[in-house]
Amino acid sequence: MSKQIIRRQHVVPQFYLKSFAVQTKSGHFKIFCYFKQQRNKIKRLEVKDVAVKKFFYDDNKLPQPIESYLSFSETDLSRTYHKIVKEKSINNLNEKERKHLVYLTYIQYVRTEYTRTKTEQILKDAIEKEKSNYLNNHN
């Protein structure tokens, strides 16, 4: 079986967005979204169309390791998340579920566009600095 290229990659996991959505029919969840840049417009959208960007993590070639990993890990993370929501507490989490919670919090932070842009800039600056040091030391 050949793998499909995932074009629409979610910045926020759909299982998390569904917690704020209303199920309109089987398998369809809608959420209200606030669009500040469109004169404070509010729209009701399908969760599948919220917080999604084309090729946010991986490009249009296989393999797509980041998207594949996130899709795989979100299964366990969603179970832990739903357990917390249902019990309204983290007190009954086992060690593995506590790790899921930490990971979920961390991964959501690093998968934002701001953090991604900032990390790319830090890497570019570090490479430029090393390049400059190398050229200065080898002339």
Tens-digit pLDDT profile for the chain (139 aa)? 447 898 998 888 999 999 999 999 998 999 999 988 888 899 999 999 999 999 988 888 889 888 888 887 888 889 999 999 999 999 999 999 999 999 888 888 888 888 888 988 999 999 999 999 988 988 7
pTM of the model: 0.71
Which domain does 84 fall in, by range? Answer: 8-137
Phi, psi of 40 (to 5 degrees): 60, 35
Q: What is the DSSP string of 79-105?
A: HHHHHHHHHT-STT--HHHHHHHHHHH
Residue 2 domain flag: no
Measured CA to CA in angstroms, residue 68 lies from 7, 52, 61, 112, 133 at distances of 12, 15, 13, 17, 37
Domain count, the chain: 1
Residue 1 domain flag: no
Contact 93, 79 (CB under 8 A): no
Residue 57 domain flag: yes
Neighbouring C-alpha atoms within 13 Å toward the C-beta of 108: 17
